[in-house]
Structure formats: C-alpha cells, structure tokens
Amino acid sequence: MVTGTGTPPREAGAKRPGPTRRPSFPLIGLIGLVAVVVLGLAVFASVAFGSRPTSISEVLAVLNGTADPGVATVVESRYPRTALGVFAGLCLAVAGTLMQGVTRNPLADPGLLGITSGAAAGIVTATAFLGASGQWAGVWWALAGALLAGLLVHVIGAAGSGAGLVRLVLAGAVVSAVLTAYVQAVTLGKPRVFDSYRYWVVGALGGRDFDVLGAVLPPAVLGLLVAVLLSPALNTLALGDESASALGANPALTRTGGLVAAVLLSTAATAAVGPIAFVGLAVPHIVRALVGVDFRLRIVFSAVVGPALLLLADVVGRLVLRPQELMVGVVTAFVGAPALLLAVRRMKGAS
Amino acid sequence: MTPIRAVSPRGVVTFGRAVAIPVGRASVVVVIVTVALIVVAAVATLSLGRLGIPLADLPGAVFGGAEGKEAFVLERLRGPRLAVAVGTGAALGLSGALFQTVTRNPLGSPDVIGLSAGAGAGAAVVALFLPGVLPVPVGALVGAVGAMALLYVSTGTGFRNPGRLIVAGIGVTAVSTAFTQYVVYAVERDRATALTAYLNGSLAARSWEHAATIWAVLLVVAPLVVLVAGRLVIGEMGDEVAAALGAEPARTRAVSVVLSVVLSAGAVSVAGPVAFIALTAPQIARRLTGGPGPHLVSAALVGALLLVLADLAAQQSPVPGNLPVGIYTLAVGGLYLGYLLTREWRKGSL
C-alpha cells in the first residue's frame, strides 16, 4: 500500500523518474514559444467557431471594431466562455501539477477528491434553502462547499504520514457518497433546484458571464500565488523528505501549502464551470514529458498547456454536434478516459 | 498459514465429491439471527403506515386469502416490493462476497469499480436514443456488463491488482458518468427526473415480474456458487497452495467474477444501481461470523436484511416525495465506509 513516505509511489502511466536530463535552455524556449502560439490559436478558435458559423474575416473585422453589430454580438458572446476556458484550464492544470509534486498522486481530479460533490452540495443548498436565484448565483456557495469538502477529504485521507493514493481516493469516495446522497435527496423533490444542478454538473463553459469569473478569481489568484512561491520547495521535496529536511526545507509545511493551493485552484475552476475531468490528470504528465522535472518550469508550462487543451476540447465540442453542442466536460471525459485505461494497462506493481 | 485448521474442525457439509460447504457454529447462529431479523423487518414493511395491514390480520392475509384493500396492498404494492428487496439484497450481498474474496480486495465490489456507472450510461442511452423501444432496465443490464468487460480488458491482468482496478474503475466511471450527465442535461425535465430517480436505485412500484426476474437469477446462480464455494475457501490460502490442492485458482477466480457480475447485473436490472449493499454486506457478515472464509450465505442474508431495512426507511420516512431507497443506502453506506476506513487506518493496515 502506498504511504507517501519511504519509497515514493509510482505514478500511473508514467515511467519511473529516470535520470533527470533537463532539456537545454534554447529547447525550453522553443517549446515555450510553441505552447504560447498553440494557446493563442486556441483562443482565436474559441472566439471564431461556434454553433452559428462566422468566417475568419468576420471575426477579424469584429476584433478591429469594423464589423456590423449582428456579427459583433455573436462573436462577443464568445468572450466570456473563452476567458472562463483559459481560467479553468489554468487552474485545473496547475492544481494537478501541485498534487503530483505534493503527493506524487497522479489522480488529482476534482471529482475524486470530493471537490465536485462539495460544490454541488453548495449550489443545491443555496438554491433550495437560501433563496439564491439566477442560474449562477450559487457560485459563492459552490466555492464554500467545495473548499470544505476538499479540505475534509485531505484531512481524512492524509492524516498521519503522507497521503497514499488509495487512501485519498477512498476518502474522496466517502465524502462524495454522503454529499451526493444529500444532493440527490434535495434535487429529486425540487424541480427548480434540479434544473440548476443538472445544468451545472455536466461541466460547460457556455452560458456564464464575466460575473462568475469575478467571483472565483480571488481564491484562484491566492492558489496560484502559493503555487509559484512553493515551486522551489517542491523541487527540494522531490528529493525525499529526509534530504529535504537536511537541506533546511520543511516538508510538512510544503505539503500542506501545496494541498491547500491545489484545493483552492480546483475549487475555483469547478465552482465556475462545473466538473471537468482529466485536465488536471493529463496536463501534468504532458508537461513533465516536455520540460522535465523542475517544478518552476512545470507550473509555468501547465498554466499555458492547460488552457490550450481545455479551449481546444471546448471548440471540438461546439463543432461535432453543430448546431447543438457537446459540453466540454463530456469531451474531456471521452478523450481522457481511454487514455487513462491505456495507461493502466502499462502500470506495473501492486498499487 | 492457519486456514486448514480454521476449516476442518468447524465441520463441512458435503454433497457428493464436488460440493463441500464449511459450516461453523458462529455462522449458523448468524444465519438464524439474520433470517429472524429479515422476517421482523418484512412484517414491519407489510404492517406499518397508513396502508399497512394490521398485525392481527397479517397471518390471515398472507396464508389465507386477502380481500379488498389488504389484497391490493399485499399483492400489488408491498408484497412484490418486499420480494424484490429480499432478492436484490441477497444477490448484491452474494455478489460482493464473491468479488471481494477472489480479488482479496475488501473494497472491490462491482458497484464501486464502475458497474453502477456503466448501468447508468446504458440506461441513459436507452432513454435518449431508444425511448419506448427498449425498456430502461435492459439498457442498464447491457451497460453494466459492458463496463465490466471494459474494466476487465483495461486492467490487463484481470481483476486481481487493487491499484489497477481502482484506477481503471475511475476511468470507466468517468466516461460513463459524463455521458449520463449529458443525457440528463439534454432531455426535458420530467424524463431527466425519472432517469435520475432510476439511477439512484429504487424499489418503488415493483411488480411480481421484477421479483420473478431477480429470484430466477438467484436460483440459477446460487447452485453454481455452491459448486465453486469449496475452491474459494481453498483459494484463501494463496495461489500456490490452492494449485497444489487441485483448486485451479485462476479458473475459480474467473468463474467467481463472472457469477458476481451476473448477480450484480441482475440486481441492477430490477432495482437500478443500489449503492453500497454489495460493498458492506460481506464486510458486516465477516465481522459477525469471524474467521476466514467467504461467508457467502451470511453475506447474502445480511444484504437482504440491509436492503429490506433501507426500503422500510424509504417507505416510512417523513421526508416528502418518497425518496428512492438508493439515496438511503448511499448516505448510510458512505458513513459506514468512512468508519471502516478510519478504523483500518488507525490499525495501520491500509
């Protein structure tokens, strides 16, 4: 069974951290440039493609401010969801990278860590009992519920020595089960609450405005700040607890700070756009394959690759069923799950 | 290596050479007490509440002929519902006990690792694409079996490795859940509500056909379980010992997993995915009975008792709107799992 201390548990799908050859500086610069260009293209695609077709020249005209108002309205209606996509992708990817650093746990997924059910319980409580109205007025409560549930899971799962993978997942299952029972019990009896819940729980970027972003920005900024400040300490932690202590670091403090930051970030994303699976799982692996093991680089690159992936998934979701659309949470699950199952087949060892 | 001693002095009931069921005194007591409790819970189910048949009239109504309101309650409302609850609970308990024994994983039960989510996705497919063409339970059945097949393929080594099992279960669950939620989002509210209620696991409005289905599954599978039971006990000693004793551990394991999935899928098809019975019943049976061994009979009986009790709570609870029984098992089962985990962690065994 994985215990976190002692022998480091292996990550699913990843090879053992072999000799850490760091890519050279020009190569990193080149990868960074490519990543930024891809993100830029993803942002442009998110603004340009939608259920109502708009041509590239029309979009460029809108960006120049020379288009006719009808087209401008259509294109501008895509700004909030693009901003939310960048925001959520960044939060989930950085949270996943932090979790890998802190627990070496490859399963830093909001759904598994109680965050999704906590946010759901918050939204349902707000709309059912506290008179919150409007589709997204529950976002503050989602934030509070997710934060509480996420921290509870880590307290249960990580009590004592470092958090083992199976323990954390099971703690998440326990908290999720009880909260889900509550959510189901309330929603089944109240159609209005059920509606706001089912539109949130599918995980979508559309239908939100900038107010939602404003509500979840503070915890995300705080989490990101902690993540950046912690990244050198995470490098030290990767050497193992004893070496880290010998180098003057405080492993327990780093671990706690990293977990809190990860919970803050994934909570902010989940409260805003609903549960989105596999971004927090996949991006850290991609980034590590690209830039190596240095956490300072990994966090910066996660913040670029995560938004790019999420926006591309959203654009794909808008195009496959046009004029209807497939929510981004569904797209990421359908792409991510097969990848995870393939990774499991390559997993070695007992746990 | 103590299992030999644990088996032989407690007595073994044999039928010919193929069947040997170990019977201990503790298990006999547990079986008798559990059956008695099931009877009590069943009587309460039939007699409590506004529509209940008064206790004094119950024997006459059950053994003689019931008339009027009592006949309606007994033959249309609570009778079939009770029969479905007992059968489904027993099937789930037995399924969980089989699965946990062969995977040696106290947390491996088909519903935890993706069977329920798969059943939900199957039901959702039917609700979205084939409304009225195919009954929703058939979709659930196909989805459940499909999810287990996917899990089996993606773990590579079968269901043995707990780490792989949990991670692959997460993948299967994620994709099934995402699809189900998309359907719940896409269809109109009434159908979404009906689908959600079904997906919680419900025993409301069951007919005698439902009861016949689950009891038929039990009657077909139980004899097969009895056939592998002896080998399962030997399997507890480890693969090498089991192989040396001629118990063919790999084959026993595969057969048991298939039987377990069939039982769970049968339960899903009549009651929807009722959470946690398959997980907790074997654990409770094991703690009550003590000692090694799969405790198949006790697990089935405990499962039946749990589900009848949960459904009694669902029927008699003062909460308006009659919540489906699955919500009760989810809440209570979740709390029990939490208790179990913290206890194991305090002992340091997990």
Q: How far apart are CA A11 and CA A212, in angstroms?
A: 35
Q: How far apart are CA B59 and CA B290, in angstroms?
A: 36
Model confidence pLDDT, tens digit, residues A113-153: 788 889 889 888 888 887 766 555 677 888 888 889 988 88
Residue A1: pLDDT band (50, 70, 90) is very low
CA of A208, closest CA in chain B: separation in Å? Answer: 16
Residue of B306 and A292 predicted with greater confidence:
B306
Residue of B35 and A22 predicted with greater confidence:
B35
- Which pLDDT belongs to residue A37? 93
Residue A165 backbone zone (phi > 0: left; psi -120 to 50: alpha; other: beta): alpha
Nearest to B286 by CA among B305, B304, B301, B299: B299
- Which pLDDT belongs to residue A150? 85
Burial of residue A92 (CB within 10 Å: 0-12, 13-18, 19+) is buried
With a CB cutoff of 8 Å and minimum separation 6, the contacts of B131 are B191
Residues B325/B45, Cβ–Cβ less than 8 Å: no
Residues B218/B146, Cβ–Cβ less than 8 Å: no
Mean pLDDT over the full length of chain A: 80
Could you tell me the domains of chain B?
A: 3-347 (1.10.3470.10)
Range of A62-71, B16-25, B213-222, B283-292 with top mean pLDDT = B213-222
Tokens at residue B78, please?
């609570």
CB contact under 8 A, A177 and B166: no
Nearest to A1 by CA among A235, A169, A175, A243: A169
Mean pLDDT of B143-148: 88
CA of A202, closest CA in chain B: separation in Å? Answer: 5
Model confidence pLDDT, tens digit, residues B173-182: 888 888 888 8
What residues in A contact B172, CB-CB < 8 Å?
337, 341
Model confidence pLDDT, tens digit, residues A215-258: 889 889 999 999 999 888 888 887 877 787 787 778 788 888 88
- Which pLDDT belongs to residue A174? 86
Model confidence pLDDT, tens digit, residues B263-281: 888 888 888 888 889 888 8
* Partner residue opposite A184 with nearest CB, options B112, B164, B327: B327
Tokens at residue B59, please?
């024997």
Can you tell me the ipTM of this complex? Answer: 0.78
Residue of A34 and B169 predicted with greater confidence:
A34
* Partner residue opposite A180 with nearest CB, options B164, B330, B338: B330
Q: How far apart are CA A310 and CA A282, in angstroms?
A: 11
CB contact under 8 A, B175 and A180: no
Could you tell me the domains of chain A?
A: 25-346 (1.10.3470.10)
Model confidence pLDDT, tens digit, residues A18-29: 445 566 778 888
What residues in A contact B276, CB-CB < 8 Å?
177
CB contact under 8 A, B155 and A185: no
- Which pLDDT belongs to residue A93? 92
CA angle A107-A110-A115, nearest 5°? 135
Tokens at residue A214, please?
């404003």
With a CB cutoff of 8 Å and minimum separation 6, the contacts of B50 are none
Model confidence pLDDT, tens digit, residues A142-185: 888 888 998 888 787 765 454 466 677 778 888 988 998 898 88
CA of B50, closest CA in chain A: separation in Å? Answer: 22
For B:166-225, CB contacts with A below 8 A are 166-168, 170-172, 174-175, 177-179, 181-182, 184-185, 189, 192-193, 196-197, 200
- Which pLDDT belongs to residue B20? 58
DSSP per residue, B45-92: HHHSSTTPPPGGGHHHHHHS---HHHHHIIIIIHHHHHHHHHHHHHHH
CB contact under 8 A, A194 and B196: yes
Residue of B57 and A210 predicted with greater confidence:
A210
Mean pLDDT over the full length of chain B: 80
- Residue A210 sits at φ, ψ, to 5 deg, of -65, -20
Helix (H) or strand (E) holding A331: helix A328-346
Model confidence pLDDT, tens digit, residues B148-167: 888 888 877 666 666 677 77
Alpha-carbon distances, residue B116 vs B160, B283, B287, B344 (angstroms):
20, 20, 26, 26
Bond prior to A323 in cis (omega within 30° of 0):
yes
What residues in B contact A170, CB-CB < 8 Å?
107, 337, 341
